[in-house]
Amino acid sequence: MRMPAIERRLGFGLGLDMPWGSRIGFTQDSAGRDAPTQRVQRFLGSETRNASHVFVSWQPRDRSELLAQNYFDAFDGFFDCVSDGVVRALHQTALNLGTLECPDRTALIRLTNVLTERYRLAWVNEDLGLWSLGGRPLPYPMPPFLTDQGLRAAIRNCVEVQRSLVAPLVIEFPGFSDEMSLSLGQWHAYDFFRRTVEESGTMATLDVGHLLSYQWSRGLRGVALYGDLERLPLSSCFEIHMSGCAISGERFLDLHHGVLLDEQLELLDRLIPLCKNLHAVTYEDPKFDAEGRLFRKALPNVDRMRERTSQWSA
Amino acid sequence: MVGVSSLEAVLDELLRKRSLREDLGRRCFERMNLSPEDAGVLAAVDCATLERAAAALRREVRARCHRGSGKLEELYPSAIAAWRAQHPDDRDLDQLFERFVASEAFAAHGHGPGPTDGLRLCIEESFFHFCEAESLGSAEERLSELLAATMKALLVSPAPAFAVPACVRRAPRGFFGLATRAGSPILFAATGGRFVTGALTPFLAALLGSEDHAAVAREHGVGPGELASSLEALAGLGLVKTFFPA
């Protein structure tokens, strides 16, 4: 088991997806250099003072060959805004850990390792899913093939990627709520994920919205949404993600819009005491205004999340 | 098992091809060439869910804004106009994009190395080949639209991880390509960090298309002085090597 070299419980942290050209993302500054937008700079400047850790999601800047130096301006700008002492991590989005194929990840791994060393990234998180099919990106990552062959492939992928990365790989339970989230195969996704984690020797991230989306997709409702937790790799859980979700009619939506459901807090409460190696609880994809202030609608449950996390990490 | 398709490859095709989804709806797996085990996996798939996923993929292909160039329907206005004229009922272009994602041209695009090691096409070129196969718009306009789209993409990705279209040539400070409008040459270039387009004289177009500049000058009845100033102008745009007058 390769554990990130973190000695203490980190507590509450932040994770930002940073698409290029979005208001919460990367842009070009007045000098034509890549940089986080002004609102991101303001947000990081104020909010990371109260955060133990922060991760940034890697997204391809363009369609050039993958070279780490093409990301230095943007990432320098991002991490310059993060308060001193805050632990840093990366969320990869292109490792395609759920694929049955054998993709050439050489350039992506090289880029990730250069970024890891330059920014002293403590771990690399990645969804156990399919980000592309046939080399063409998908609108939303699909779950892995929940078959015996899919399990063997997922383990192989995680072992290979883990071996190549200089930072520990932490794999994340994938989402099941999007229209792209086809479930193929008979394995219970919690068992599939646990077996992958155990047999690949990686640590795990439990995204609470993703867990709920899976149980929801199975037709479970109410307290049954919090069931089956013993089937998860609880002792290998290093990080928990909390990102904005919503329920609309009969649909569970993993919107990443910043507003947490009460159900997510309930599941967080249940998971924290079960995850003995938990080090980080991350509020993922916050949404904020031009001044870098969290949207008012998000505040009540973010405050509750922060309170629970503080109690746990104290 | 030799000769059997992978579940992943078939899933990719299912998301792109309605006819294959219809096969699945009838539980007809012949064309999928799957192992019995994988056919069993697909047999359990809810067809309505698969249909929604396929629709989401089409919407994404239509709506995705490619850095540098933009959305496909903005890049190919004449081809889109031709489609709309032929299919006035397809207001949201869903039928167009359904045909596109099912095409061989679409399957040839992607990021990084392709299955046969060469780089894949960019989506701008793959849409161009689709429009060619469907005879959408005029050949002249299609080529102009391809060149404009590709140059914009190359401006932000000057070391592209996609195959540069055969009609695009490398230049000392970027890339260029030539099309024609009403028989006259039109230049499209991504050079020196700028997108450049405009009409060229036949002589300048011929100069860009040849290494033997003196022969081109003779052919066009152009004297040494005009040749020198022409090459200097092209060199100033980064389209030919810096010109040193004799």
The answer to whether A140 contacts chain B (CB < 8 Å) is yes
A134 three-state secondary structure? coil
Residue B23 shares a structural domain with residue B95: no
Kindly write down the DSSP assignment for every residue of A97-117, as one continuous string. TT-SS----HHHHHHHHHHHH
Domain boundary among the residues B129, B148, B167 is at B167
Mutating which of B4, B13, B21, B41 best tests the A interface, going by the most A Cβ atoms within 10 A?
Answer: B41
Closest by Cα among B75, B179, B50 to B130? B75
Quote the pLDDT of residue B1.
45
Contact A135 B110 (CB under 8 A): yes
Cα(A153)–Cα(B95) distance, integer angstroms: 35
The answer to whether A138 contacts chain B (CB < 8 Å) is yes
Cα(B99)–Cα(B14) distance, integer angstroms: 13
Chain B nearest CA to A153, separation (Å): 12
Residue B158 shares a structural domain with residue B174: no
Q: Is residue B195 part of a domain?
A: yes
Quote the pLDDT of residue A232.
98
Q: Which domain holds residue B210?
A: 169-246
Domain boundary among the residues B167, B195, B230 is at B167
A77 three-state secondary structure? helix
Residue B246 shares a structural domain with residue B179: yes
φ/ψ of residue A135, rounded to 5? 80, 5
Quote the pLDDT of residue B117.
58
Q: Considering only CB atoms, which chain A residues are within 8 Å of B56?
A: 139-140, 178-180
B119 three-state secondary structure? strand
Q: Considering only CB atoms, which chain B residues are within 8 Å of A65?
A: 159-161
> What interface predicted TM-score (ipTM) does this complex get?
0.92
Structural contact between residues A259 and A246, judged by C-beta atoms closer than 8 angstroms: yes
Selecting from A99, A101, A134 the residue whose C-beta is nearest the C-beta of B107 gives A134
Q: Is residue B215 part of a domain?
A: yes
Selecting from A61, A64, A134 the residue whose C-beta is nearest the C-beta of B12 gives A134
Going by the DSSP 8-state scheme, the letter that residue A71 receives in this structure is G
Residue in chain B lying closest to A102 (CA) = B115
Beta strands in A145-211 (DSSP E): 169-172, 203-207
Structural contact between residues A146 and A183, judged by C-beta atoms closer than 8 angstroms: yes
Quote the pLDDT of residue B242.
72
Residue B74 shares a structural domain with residue B10: no
Residue B182 shares a structural domain with residue B146: no
From residue A142, how far is each of A129, A174, A307, B75 by CA, in Å? 5, 8, 33, 29
Burial status of residue B180 (CB atoms within 10 A of its CB: 0-12, 13-18, 19 or more)? middle
Contact B161 A20 (CB under 8 A): no
The total number of structural domains that make up chain B: 3
Contact B156 A62 (CB under 8 A): yes
Give the count of beta carbons closer than 10 Å to the beta carbon of residue B202: 12
Tokens at residue B163, please? Answer: 């195959």
Structural contact between residues A140 and A180, judged by C-beta atoms closer than 8 angstroms: yes
Residue in chain A lying closest to B37 (CA) = A147
Tokens at residue B234, please? Answer: 């092209």
Q: Is residue B18 part of a domain?
A: yes
The H or E element containing residue A124 is: strand A121-127
pTM: 0.93
pLDDT in tens, B65-122: 888 788 999 999 999 999 999 999 999 999 999 999 999 999 999 876 555 557 899 9
Residue B163 shares a structural domain with residue B233: no
Residue in chain A lying closest to B106 (CA) = A136
Burial status of residue B166 (CB atoms within 10 A of its CB: 0-12, 13-18, 19 or more)? exposed
Tokens at residue A130, please? Answer: 């399919």
The answer to whether A180 contacts chain B (CB < 8 Å) is yes
Residue B243 shares a structural domain with residue B173: yes
Cα(B77)–Cα(A81) distance, integer angstroms: 42
Contact B112 A179 (CB under 8 A): no
Contact B67 A101 (CB under 8 A): no
The answer to whether A136 contacts chain B (CB < 8 Å) is yes
Q: Is residue B52 part of a domain?
A: no
Residue B92 shares a structural domain with residue B24: no
Residue in chain A lying closest to B123 (CA) = A136
Backbone Cα Rg of chain A = 18
Residue B87 shares a structural domain with residue B138: yes
Going by the DSSP 8-state scheme, the letter that residue B108 receives in this structure is T
Structural contact between residues A139 and A86, judged by C-beta atoms closer than 8 angstroms: no
Q: Is residue B162 part of a domain?
A: yes
Cα(B165)–Cα(A223) distance, integer angstroms: 56
Quote the pLDDT of residue A210.
97
Residue B135 shares a structural domain with residue B226: no
Cα(A123)–Cα(A112) distance, integer angstroms: 11
Cα(A119)–Cα(A121) distance, integer angstroms: 5
Which position has the token pair 């989005």? Answer: A93
From edge to edge, which strands make up the β-sheet containing B169-171? B169-171, B174-181, B184-191, B194-199
- Provide the residue type at B213 as one letter: H
Cβ neighbours of residue B2 closer than 8 Å, sequence gap 6 or more? none
Mutating which of A26, A33, A63, A101 best tests the B interface, going by the most B Cβ atoms within 10 A?
Answer: A63
Quote the pLDDT of residue B183.
86
Could you list the pLDDT tens digit for every one of the 246 residues in chain B?
Answer: 457 889 999 999 999 999 999 999 999 999 999 999 999 999 999 999 999 999 999 999 999 888 878 899 999 999 999 999 999 999 999 999 999 999 999 999 987 655 555 789 999 999 999 999 999 999 999 999 999 999 999 999 999 999 999 999 999 999 999 999 888 999 999 999 999 999 999 999 999 989 899 999 999 999 999 999 999 999 999 999 876 655
Q: Considering only CB atoms, which chain A residues are within 8 Å of B9?
A: 134
Q: Is residue B57 part of a domain?
A: no
| Strand A11-17, strand A53-57: pairing | parallel
Residue B71 shares a structural domain with residue B162: yes
The H or E element containing residue A27 is: strand A26-28
Cα(B195)–Cα(B188) distance, integer angstroms: 7
pLDDT in tens, A163-211: 999 999 999 999 998 777 888 999 999 999 999 999 999 999 999 999 9
φ/ψ of residue B130, rounded to 5? -60, -45
Report CA torsion sign: A127, A133, A135, A138.
negative
The answer to whether A134 contacts chain B (CB < 8 Å) is yes
CB < 8 Å from B in window 36-95 of A: 60-67
Residue in chain A lying closest to B67 (CA) = A62
Residue B155 shares a structural domain with residue B175: no
Could you list the pLDDT tens digit for every one of the 314 residues in chain A?
Answer: 788 999 899 999 999 999 999 999 999 999 989 999 999 999 999 999 999 999 999 999 999 999 999 999 999 999 999 999 999 999 999 999 999 999 999 999 999 999 999 999 999 999 999 999 998 999 889 999 999 999 999 999 999 999 999 999 999 999 998 777 888 999 999 999 999 999 999 999 999 999 999 999 999 999 999 999 999 999 999 999 999 999 999 999 999 999 999 999 999 999 999 999 999 999 999 999 999 999 999 999 999 999 999 999 98
Quote the pLDDT of residue B205.
96
